[in-house]
Structure 1
């Protein structure tokens, strides 16, 4: 559908609006992007509302569709913020929205947010605008939501909206957002991965306290030593493989191609079948903990009273107790743990009418492909929407070239999305809305 080519222009325009999220009060915020999105909706007659949680941190909501025959609404959500980017590291300026050819991916839209996740925002906006113009409005009520602050845990976006404005989600029983529906290739077969679960997020600050003193003297109560030992234990620990229902289904699909059953013992071998996507999928076979920051002291000859470390922990659905018990054991009694952000994992059964609709929409555009669920290693706003009882999925359909290392583009340098993949996603989303 030529009209849906607008998806490329919308994606470029959104990328050009710098919405870098530094996890603090610094940064431009999402207000300018929110106003742009609201304008695109209102231009075709869809009323939009902008909410600010703090000055400049803005989210957009709109209700669309519904003919009175259904009360259960569908939430379609994306976020407007992006992680920061250093222009000197990039081939093109990260906020240029340039369209350039490249060896991996072909003709692509370049820029921060191209895959996380202004591509989905653009798909959604282009399809909704075209359907509104032509009167092809879904019979099911649709809530459109574009949030602030997802890249820092959603505390100034989805979390505050769920808490302070639950009326915006009235009737929503299901939600669709990032990150799923993208393709990978396994044994020559293209496979689309629909997100049906994601790991819990435990961003933590570890603190060791001890006795200050002169660096030239013996000190048996040195907090730097204590925090270093804890970090070393955490970083070296090998978490055991745990197969969640979602990953058992995904690896079962791969096992059929490989002619083998799925077991914890061969799970990592089966994940290797995904090539570059193993980077993400290998991380969801177990809980994970990665030390990321260290802090201590103010002078080389002074033992400080305190030393800190930050750790990015991710827990599998169903294995939270094991995660926190093991973490406490690795830290030891002398290390205190404070959580910068703590959110539970979730898993939605991969069944029902919405799953069938996603599958049919993909296969209508790519009939020989396979479709399967996966567990995501990162976090999304779905964690907050689950608090309202919604069944959540990630569905950002992209048909990708086999040689493109797609998972490396998330938060990476030279982030880009192929133009053909964007247009494919718009067509699939249009089919999806025919049936929801």
Structure 2
């Protein structure tokens, strides 16, 4: 196994084994976040206390913040060599999504290892990175390794329900914990995908789609079902929902998309012209749906509500939309949706978190590349736009540029993103060891 550098005769075995053991320990703590306060237990706080204990064991001070019972986060700052540089926030969330309604062959909180795979809720989303960060912090403390700049280690609650009681609360109420931070590193990226015959690409999320909700409301005259009306609210709402469902927003070539297309186009000999873009992306295998989802804004009808009795025409019908918006597209999306439906359909905008966009030429990406070069020579770090949202959206409010990079070298046919929220969520044990080594390089040199 390669050492981190000539200055350290690194006990890699301890670092790697701790990353695996700590990830398993965290998986065994049931920290399910249902999104409904009445059904959430104290799992996040128990996980946070475990993290705090592991840090304290090697002399690292941390602060546990619990804005609501059971919803705790832990923050620790490791001083760097150059205290004048902006700090790097390294974050992982401790909550996981529910497992009910899924058919698991392995106990979701058992952290079982079978045939070289670790199974359990959180194996990739994202107790693997929490375990790796914790292992690296302990390793730095034992070996007296000082990072190049301050590291703010954040183990967070509530990401799976929007981060209201985790990163969002901390940004609003305890911004002092992130004082001086300029960049952040968390999910979703860093996993390998096939690049060409033998080499791999490691995707770095430099941008994330924003998340928004909207409610459409149609109103009409109530009446008996036997006497149809011209202004039936259900019919008018159905037309609006159908129009939105059939609509394709235009492709937007964001900086992250352009960077991805440039690298993959160069290596794979693909042109990615306006006419060939979607077909060329289809040639990229398992990475295709992930990148394709970031080409355009989307608005998806998800909930319909109208009436309560079959023989009564309701006076009102509503539809809820899940909206994913590209950087700088908030107002364009609103206008485009407004134009799709009749003027008498009311649109109420609800929760709205705008997209994040970090520079694709940050020196941090060069650090990621060097770390990957050391662990997987010849591979390439490639920016992309994450079509989902992470806690980086909250840190962006403090002017912190967020990146998604959890380094995992995986078998070429393994879809890491497909494991998120899936039954029998799993990760190769060897990938966790790779994650620990590569993360140690990154956090030392960033």
Superposed pair shares fold, TM > 0.5: yes
| 1:99 aligns to 2:113 (yes or no) | yes
Residue 236 of structure 2: aligned partner: 226
Residue 302 of structure 1: aligned partner: 312
Comparing 158-167 with 71-80, greater Cα deviation is found at 71-80
Residue 3 of structure 2: aligned partner: none
**In the aligned structure 2, how far is the partner of 1:322 from the partner of 1:56?**
40
Residue 150 of structure 1: aligned partner: 159
Kindly state the Cα deviation for residue 139 of structure 1 after the two structures are TM-superposed. Answer: 4.2
Any conservation in 1 of the 2:271–2:280 contact (CA below 8 Å)? no
Alignment of 1:96-135 (within 5 A): 96-101=110-115, 107-135=116-144
Residue 283 of structure 2: aligned partner: 273
Alignment of 1:340-419 (within 5 A): 340-419=350-429
| 1:27 aligns to 2:40 (yes or no) | yes
- Tell me: CA distance 1:74–1:35, structure 2 relative to 1, closer, same or farther (3 Å): same
**In the aligned structure 2, how far is the partner of 1:95 from the partner of 1:337?**
42
Any conservation in 1 of the 2:32–2:96 contact (CA below 8 Å)? yes
Residue 204 of structure 2: aligned partner: 194
- Tell me: CA distance 1:24–1:266, structure 2 relative to 1, closer, same or farther (3 Å): same
Alignment of 1:152-231 (within 5 A): 152-188=161-197, 189-231=199-241
Kindly state the Cα deviation for residue 28 of structure 1 after the two structures are TM-superposed. Answer: 2.1
**In the aligned structure 1, how far is the partner of 2:362 from the partner of 2:127?**
28
- Tell me: CA distance 1:39–1:209, structure 2 relative to 1, closer, same or farther (3 Å): farther
Residue 51 of structure 2: aligned partner: 37
For structure 1, which runs of at least 5 residues remain unmatched after alignment? Answer: 102-106
Kindly state the Cα deviation for residue 340 of structure 1 after the two structures are TM-superposed. Answer: 4.2
Q: Deviations over 1:109-146 (max 9, x none)?
A: 11121111111111111111111122113242111111
Q: Secondary structure at the match of 1:115?
A: coil
For structure 2, which runs of at least 5 residues remain unmatched after alignment? Answer: 1-11
Kindly state the Cα deviation for residue 273 of structure 1 after the two structures are TM-superposed. Answer: 3.0
Residue 2 of structure 1: aligned partner: 13
Q: Deviations over 1:205-239 (max 9, x none)?
A: 33323332222221223222222222111111112
Q: Secondary structure at the match of 2:389?
A: coil
Residue 104 of structure 1: aligned partner: none
Q: Secondary structure at the match of 2:47?
A: helix
- TM-score relative to the length of structure 1: 0.94
Q: Secondary structure at the match of 1:57?
A: coil
**In the aligned structure 2, how far is the partner of 1:66 from the partner of 1:252?**
35
Any conservation in 1 of the 2:94–2:156 contact (CA below 8 Å)? yes
| 1:429 aligns to 2:402 (yes or no) | no
Any conservation in 1 of the 2:296–2:326 contact (CA below 8 Å)? yes
**In the aligned structure 2, how far is the partner of 1:39 from the partner of 1:340?**
39
Kindly state the Cα deviation for residue 305 of structure 1 after the two structures are TM-superposed. Answer: 2.7
Number of aligned residues = 431
- TM-score relative to the length of structure 2: 0.92
**In the aligned structure 2, how far is the partner of 1:83 from the partner of 1:424?**
25
- Corresponding residue to 1:13 among 21, 25, 37: 25
Comparing 271-280 with 371-380, greater Cα deviation is found at 271-280
**In the aligned structure 1, how far is the partner of 2:190 from the partner of 2:410?**
10
Kindly state the Cα deviation for residue 402 of structure 1 after the two structures are TM-superposed. Answer: 0.8
Any conservation in 1 of the 2:151–2:443 contact (CA below 8 Å)? no
Comparing 27-36 with 192-201, greater Cα deviation is found at 27-36
**In the aligned structure 2, how far is the partner of 1:18 from the partner of 1:164?**
27
CA RMSD of aligned residues (A): 1.7
Q: Secondary structure at the match of 2:183?
A: strand
**In the aligned structure 1, how far is the partner of 2:134 from the partner of 2:226?**
64
Q: Deviations over 1:273-297 (max 9, x none)?
A: 3312222211001111222222222
- Corresponding residue to 2:77 among 63, 67, 71: 63
**In the aligned structure 2, how far is the partner of 1:339 from the partner of 1:93?**
40
Residue 311 of structure 1: aligned partner: 321
- Tell me: CA distance 1:16–1:334, structure 2 relative to 1, closer, same or farther (3 Å): farther
Any conservation in 2 of the 1:396–1:425 contact (CA below 8 Å)? yes
